[in-house]
Structure formats: C-alpha cells, structure tokens
Chain A
Amino acid sequence: MSGRGRDIREAGNLYSGLTLGGSHIRQFAAREPYREEAGQRILGGCGLMGVCDQSGKRMSGELALQSMASMHDRGNGLGGGFAGYGIYPDLAEYFCFHMLFTDEVAKEDTEFYLGRNFLIVQEEPIPTKPIKGIEDEPILWRYFLEIAEERLKETQLSPEDYVVHSVMDINSYIDGAFVASSGKNMGAFKGVGFPEEIGEFFCIDEYKGWTWTGHGRFPTNTPGWWGGAHPFALLDYSIVHNGEISSYGINRRYLEMFGYKCSLQTDTEVVTYLFDLMLRRHKLPVEMACKALASPFWKDIDLMPPEQHKLFTAIRMVYGQALLNGPFAVVLGMADGMVALNDRIKLRPLVAARDGDVIYVASEESAIREICAHPQESWMPRAGEPVIATVSAQAKVANGSSRQCAPEAA
C-alpha cells in the first residue's frame, strides 16, 4: 500500500462535489488538474478492428486478438485493448464495472463508494495470466452491481444516469481509480502493452461475445498509461479510435453542460460520451448521431433536396459543438451492435467487409482477412458514412443463454 493517497486523504476535506446525492460523506484524495497536452509528441498511427455477428452468435475473443496481432506494427506497445459484448450471459442484468486501481487505497475508496451507492452482487479480480511484456499492471477488479430502488427514487435518476454519475465520480474524484467499463453483459480489457499481449494477459480467448472491438495504440498527444488505453467505455458504449480529436476542447465543454467530466487525459473519451448523450439520452437514430459527429460540409448540404437540407442544417446547428474535427476512424461497440465511422475527409484508414451475418471493420484489410479469408464483400467506407451492424434482442436471447461459455460465473 502506498502511503501517499492516505496522507492526502487524511489532510482534510478536499472535495465535496460528488454528483450522486448522499455520497460525499468521506473525503477522497486530491488530484492534479487535467493537462491537455503531454510534453512531447511522437508521430504514429493506431490500429483498430471490430467484428459483429448480427445473428447474435458468440465468438471467442481470440478472433479480435488475432486480427489485432496482424496490425502489431501500427502500435508501439503503449496501449492495447478489447471490448466484448455478450461475455457475461449469467450476470447480464447487472452493471459490470471493470476497474483499474493504482493502489489498495484507491480500491478501498472505490469499494466504499460502490458499497454506499450500489448492491454489489459479485466482485472478483479480473482473471489475468503473467505475460512477458506486461508489467506494472494496476489492481484489476470487476464488480457486478445492482441499484436499489430507493436510491433511484431518492436521486430521481434512471439506472443508466445513475451509473454515469457514479463513473464520473470515480474517475474524477477517487485518486488512482478508473472505470474501464460499466455496461451490462460487456467489458473492456485494456492496458499498456501490445494488443496481443494485453489480450493474452486478460485471457480474452476464454470469453465469447457477439461483438468485439480491438485497439493497438501509438500514443501521440497524451501519455501511454493503463487508463488511457482504448476502448473508452461508458455504460454499453465503447470506443476504439485511431486519430486525433482536434475539437476536444469544444466537445469537452459541451459535454460538461450535460454532466460529463473528462478525466482520462485523452481526446477519445469525448467520443464515447457524445454517443451516450446522443443515442441514449437524446434518442437520436445512430445514422443521425454519426452525421452530427461527422457532418456533411455546408457546400454539400446546399446541394441537398429541401427536406434533407432542412434536416442536416438542423443537425449542424443543434449539435455544432458535438462535431468532431480532426482525423479519426472510430469503432463504437454498443449493446445492439457496432458502428464504424471516419472523419469527413477520410484522414484515417478504415476498411469494412461482410461475410454472411458477420460485419468486419479494421484499419487494414489484411486484419480482416486474417480472421475471415474470403469475405463475401469488402469495401472502403466513404468519409463520414457509418458502417452499422445490428444485433437484435431476439438474436441475443437465442445465443446468450449458454452457461458453458462464461468463465466468470461462479
């Protein structure tokens, strides 16, 4: 245990602005303010992939690992990660928090916080195995959580908003504690290392999911640290990203108005929160949310027929501050599928393919061929045109009930 966190915490009441009512009865440790830029820049490009079986059949995480391994050279070993959907079928009704703790104090603080605000149904270390190249890992723990009815009544929040508040609280106010993912029947596995090392470290081949996303990081503007690895997840939404969100400042301030706090030192974070805002809270169709993030240019809107012209003008006006500037390719994982999206002028690579019900996307076509030798079709998505894969609720029920695939279910 580090004495540092304890000393600071005992130094006095440093923060009392937690957003979940009734939870600021214990003082958490102080934190340095966010720094928008790291000291040095290294040029490079990340690699990403996504695979989604729209029929709801669950695939081993091995598939995502192998695809990412083929793009080893796109990253530099300073970040790798995966998100899997459908991986906890036996505990599917509970919010699952994948946590990174830098020390025991952070874990104690977080468990105190979770204990106050949730019913902890199950908690356990996230299984890992020693892998050469992966060192200095934080304490990795997962919690399956339920929210008591009276807490929802008390706070007047939906369960999802309640979780969002608690994730913001933990990330912002508990020093050394970070929520890697907080959705249902999904999880993010991430850390410092090459993606194939991280995948083996977390034994992701032992999980089965209908959607997997993967990421190999080449940090450019912000540090390579465990919490800064992709995916960035909130509720069921997870983002892997290659590029740079130049509009980070504007997006961040916009999100702050809705209660999102950006605390993970990386631009990518805003994309996850923007999707949560637009898809879950504003209930925008996913196509429209994508058009807000990667809006058509005004010159192209001017060429549209009147109805469309009106729609896209409205989207740009209402969601002007959600517009993502700068080069990006992102893959969004979500409860009912997967979306891949490029910036408006295609400044980052993205290839898509389909084989039967399975949709693949990746930074390089070879990463798709690695796991599907002969897809029925493959294409280069247009700039700003989302590739959308959808898993229906029925498909998930039909395929998610098998117990044998859930390594974590006790």
Chain B
Amino acid sequence: MSTDSSAARNVPTGPARRGPTGAEPARVAAGQPGTNRGISRREGDTAVIDGKGVYYKTLNEQVREEIEQGATRVVLDNVIGQRYIGTGLTFKGVTVVINGVPGNDLAAFMNGPTLVVNDNAQDGVANTMNSGLVVVNGDAGDVLGYGMRGGSVYVRGNVGYRVGIHMKAFAERKPLIVVGGHARDFLGEYMAGGEVVILGLGEDDGRVVGSYVGTGMHAGVMYLRGEVAEHQLGKEVRTAPPTDADWARIQEIVNDYCAVMEIDPGRVLDRSFIKVYPYTSRPYGRLYVY
C-alpha cells in the first residue's frame, strides 16, 4: 500500500490491478468482446449471416467481406445490439437488411448503401451520414441524424430526442429525415441545413413534436403534419403555411416515403402541413459582440 493521501482514505484512485486468477467469466451476450464468427451462407448475390452471439467487430467485418466478395444484398439475422452496423460502408448499390435491434451509431459515416432495419433502432442512427438510405421499420432513438450531411433516413414509427441535431447541407448534398410517427423535444436543434419531415401518423397524445423545436436552427427546413403551438418552438424559428414550392416538395417527399413504406400517400397528404424555418441564418451572430 502506498503512502499517499488516497491510501489513508483506503480508496484506490487508479484502475484495479487485473491479473490471471480465477476462471474466465462466461460469455453470455453478443455485446461482450469475442472472436467467434456468425454462420453465413450465400444465396446467389445474397449473403445471410447469423448474428447470434457475434461481437460487433466481427459482424461488421463479415458484412464487409461479403460485399467485397460480390454480395449485393446482405441479410443479418438475430442482430441484438451490435454497434456500428453499416458504419463507414461506402459500397453503392448494396442493401443490408437487419433483422433484430441493431446497436448505437447505425450507418454512421455511411456512404451509399441502403440499410433496412426490420425492428426498432437505438440511438445515434445516421450519425454524420454522407449518402445512402436508412429505413427503420420500427421506432428509432435519440440523436438520429446527428451532423448528417447527405442521404435519407425513413422511420416508420416514432423517434426520440434531438433528431436532426447539427444536420447540415452543402451544394448537392441535402440530407432528409422522414418520420412516420412523432418526435420528441429539440427536433432540429442547431440545424444548419437539410430537411426534416414529421408525419405524426399512428397513435399519439396529439402532439406531433415535443418542445424546443428548432432551437438554434439557422438553415434548412422542417415540415410538420399537424399543429405546433408557439410554446413548443425554439426562439430561433418561425412557422408559416407551406408555399406552393414547399407543397410540391412535401408531395415529392411523401410520395417517395410512402412508396418505400408501402402506405397510401393519400392518407398522409389529407392533412395540412406547417413549415418551420429559421428567421435568421446567424441566430448567435451578436452573442459575443459588445
């Protein structure tokens, strides 16, 4: 035992010494580091990988290998919490189908592929995504589309807090998030570009979005199907009825979303939309001006 003050307190301040005593704890979940590979099979251009008990690193390596070996469709079965699926994947024309609940940071930095999740997704979907399409056939969690730079995310159900935070656009890169259900607070926080559409379909307590909508927003646009009260808005946004150009764009987005989700666009377009936009491109321009 050392003689410094922490020893007098009997509180170790550094990591505990870890040594080779005792039995290895059993590996009981895919979330624990391990090297076992998922059983895979090929059906033509489709590769099917069983993700049961496979650690995220190995699973993502296997996805990459299959695509490099010519698969244009990769189906992942029994996915449970594996992180970073589709992250940094840059193959265009490739589809990855996820059966199960994928882990955080799905499709982060993704560049081209289509990702289909046949369950709920967790937090951080499409973090800094570049291009491609993510389809979530369930709910998705918080900070979806964080810093997203391009491509589209279509969610069938609800999404969590801070969706579209720091989303941005440049030249032909224009990210799009469409949510079938409702969104929680801080939608489009600090948004700097791109489009967010919330449809509010399905059961809810009547509020399509939560509070603090568009706080700090300074570019881009949001279209909400239904009402939004003044007190739900951040200080940096205004609302207006959609212009003809907006309405044309809403129809275009809804039609594509409905085609992917296989729902009747007439059912979606039967209700009025409201446009949320930033009233200035520099909301904090005077913050540090004395």
Q: How far is the CA of A346 from the CA of B160 in the complex (A)?
A: 9
Q: How large, as a class, is the contact surface on chain A?
A: 35 or more
Checking A69, A346, A349, A380 against B158 with a beta-carbon cut-off of 8 angstroms, the contacting residue is A380
Question: 0/1 per residue, A71-95, Cβ < 8 Å to B?
Answer: 1110001100000000000000000
- The answer, yes or no, to whether B24 is at the interface (CB within 8 Å) is yes
- The answer, yes or no, to whether B19 is at the interface (CB within 8 Å) is yes
- The answer, yes or no, to whether B152 is at the interface (CB within 8 Å) is no
- The answer, yes or no, to whether A365 is at the interface (CB within 8 Å) is yes
Number of interface residues of B (CB under 8 A): 52
CB pair B25–A196 under 8 Å, yes or no, is yes
- In the bound complex, residues from chain B placing their C-beta under 8 Å from that of A175 are 9-10
Task: Given A132-B22, A365-B120, A365-B122, check contact A70 B31 (CB 8 Å).
Answer: yes
- In the bound complex, residues from chain B placing their C-beta under 8 Å from that of A38 are 13
CB pair A132–B231 under 8 Å, yes or no, is no
Q: Which of B198-248 contact A (CB under 8 A)?
A: 211, 231
Task: Given A345-B185, A345-B186, A365-B120, check contact A70 B80 (CB 8 Å).
Answer: yes
- In the bound complex, residues from chain A placing their C-beta under 8 Å from that of B122 are 349, 351, 364-366
Checking B8, B13, B30, B139 against A70 with a beta-carbon cut-off of 8 angstroms, the contacting residue is B30
CB pair A365–B101 under 8 Å, yes or no, is yes
Question: Interface stretch among A151-159, A165-173, A220-228?
Answer: A220-228
CB pair A380–B160 under 8 Å, yes or no, is yes
Q: How far is the CA of A77 from the CA of B14 in the complex (A)?
A: 12
Q: Which of B141-196 contact A (CB under 8 A)?
A: 141-142, 158, 160-162, 184-186
Kindly report which residue of chain B lies nearest to residue A198, judged by CB atoms. B25
Task: Given A32-B8, A346-B185, A369-B101, check contact A130 B23 (CB 8 Å).
Answer: yes
- In the bound complex, residues from chain A placing their C-beta under 8 Å from that of B18 are 77, 133, 135
CB pair A370–B80 under 8 Å, yes or no, is yes
CB pair B80–A135 under 8 Å, yes or no, is no
CB pair A131–B16 under 8 Å, yes or no, is no
- In the bound complex, residues from chain A placing their C-beta under 8 Å from that of B17 are 135-136
Kindly report which residue of chain A lies nearest to residue B158, judged by CB atoms. A380
Q: How far is the CA of A228 from the CA of B25 in the complex (A)?
A: 22
- The answer, yes or no, to whether A403 is at the interface (CB within 8 Å) is no
- In the bound complex, residues from chain B placing their C-beta under 8 Å from that of A349 are 122-123, 141-142
- The answer, yes or no, to whether A4 is at the interface (CB within 8 Å) is yes
Q: How far is the CA of A4 from the CA of B25 in the complex (A)?
A: 34
- The answer, yes or no, to whether B113 is at the interface (CB within 8 Å) is no
Q: How far is the CB of B185 from the nearest CB of chain A, in Å? A: 7
- The answer, yes or no, to whether A361 is at the interface (CB within 8 Å) is no
- The answer, yes or no, to whether B266 is at the interface (CB within 8 Å) is no
- In the bound complex, residues from chain A placing their C-beta under 8 Å from that of B19 are 135
- The answer, yes or no, to whether A200 is at the interface (CB within 8 Å) is yes
Q: How far is the CA of A4 from the CA of B9 in the complex (A)?
A: 11
- In the bound complex, residues from chain B placing their C-beta under 8 Å from that of A369 are 80-81, 100-101
Q: How far is the CA of A279 from the CA of B21 in the complex (A)?
A: 43
Checking B13, B22, B31 against A223 with a beta-carbon cut-off of 8 angstroms, the contacting residue is B13
CB pair A197–B25 under 8 Å, yes or no, is yes
Checking B6, B16, B24, B31 against A71 with a beta-carbon cut-off of 8 angstroms, the contacting residue is B31
Checking A78, A265, A351 against B141 with a beta-carbon cut-off of 8 angstroms, the contacting residue is A351
- In the bound complex, residues from chain A placing their C-beta under 8 Å from that of B27 are 69
CB pair A71–B81 under 8 Å, yes or no, is yes
Give the interface centre of A225, A227, A364, A366 by most chain B CB atoms within 10 Å: A366
Task: Given A69-B29, A71-B81, A73-B31, check contact A364 B104 (CB 8 Å).
Answer: yes
Kindly report which residue of chain A lies nearest to residue B159, judged by CB atoms. A380
Q: How far is the CA of A176 from the CA of B1 in the complex (A)?
A: 13
Checking B22, B160, B231 against A299 with a beta-carbon cut-off of 8 angstroms, the contacting residue is B231
Give the interface centre of A77, A102, A193 by most chain B CB atoms within 10 Å: A102
Q: How far is the CB of B229 from the nearest CB of chain A, in Å? A: 9
Checking A39, A65, A366 against B31 with a beta-carbon cut-off of 8 angstroms, the contacting residue is A366
CB pair B31–A72 under 8 Å, yes or no, is yes
CB pair A345–B161 under 8 Å, yes or no, is yes
Q: Which of A43-74 contact B (CB under 8 A)?
A: 65-67, 69-73
Residue numbers of A with Cβ under 8 A of B are: 2, 4, 30-32, 38-39, 65-67, 69-73, 77-78, 102-103, 106, 129-136, 175-176, 192-194, 196-197, 200, 223-225, 227-228, 265, 299-300, 303, 345-346, 349, 351, 364-367, 369-370, 378-380, 382-383
Q: 5 nearest interchain CB pairs?
A: A366-B81, A130-B22, A70-B29, A70-B31, A69-B29
Interchain residue pairs with CB less than 8 A apart (25): A31-B9, A32-B9, A38-B13, A39-B13, A69-B31, A71-B31, A72-B31, A72-B32, A72-B33, A132-B25, A135-B16, A135-B17, A176-B10, A192-B15, A192-B16, A196-B26, A225-B12, A225-B13, A299-B231, A349-B123, A351-B141, A364-B123, A365-B120, A367-B31, A383-B184
